[in-house]
């Protein structure tokens, strides 16, 4: 069962990101796994499956606002196999189609958990803006 919770506002978009829909929800939806998301730009484009390869532009940050990664900063979208990334990405990107933008709030259990990784502390909740550019 999915639930919603009010949020205060939208995150600052990175330079080069496309627009947010005027009617984008302010609320996050939470899935059964604990992933929280809101679709900032809808699209009727092709949706990926858990085993799809995708190309996405994204920005990731921690609860304290510190950015840890951004394809926008590198100037080009990044290809990913959805079955080769953190579980929160695999689940979240299947909710949208090519051309869409989604904001993900990924609990540690669906990210890097207790092990963390360089630049990401153990048990960190991760935040992402993701524009799905292509499903291969």
Euclidean distance between CA atoms 1 and 118, whole angstroms: 34
Counting runs of H as helices and runs of E as strands, what totals does the chain give? Answer: 2, 8
Query: Residues with catalytic annotation?
Result: 58, 68-69, 86, 112, 128
Are residues 42 and 100 in contact, defined by beta-carbon separation less than 8 angstroms? yes
Contacts of 22 (CB under 8 A, 6+ apart): none
- DSSP for 64-107, please give it: TS-EEEEHHHHTS-EEEEGGGS-HHHHHHHTTS-TT-EEEEEE-
Contacts of 31 (CB under 8 A, 6+ apart): 2, 37, 91
């Amino acid at each position: 069962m999915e639930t919603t919770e009010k949020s205060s506002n939208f995150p600052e978009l990175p330079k080069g990101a496309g627009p947010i829909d005027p009617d984008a929800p302010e609320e996050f939806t939470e899935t059964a796994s604990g992933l929280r998301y809101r679709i900032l730009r809808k699209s009727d484009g092709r949706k990926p499956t858990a085993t799809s390869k995708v190309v996405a532009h994204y920005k990731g940050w921690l609860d304290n606002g510190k950015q840890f990664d951004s394809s926008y900063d590198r100037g080009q979208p990044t290809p990913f196999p959805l079955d080769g990334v953190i579980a929160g990405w695999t689940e979240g990107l299947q909710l949208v189609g090519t051309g869409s933008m989604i904001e993900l709030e990924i609990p540690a259990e669906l990210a890097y958990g207790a092990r963390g990784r360089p630049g990401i502390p153990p048990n960190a909740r991760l935040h992402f803006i993701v524009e799905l550019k292509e499903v291969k």
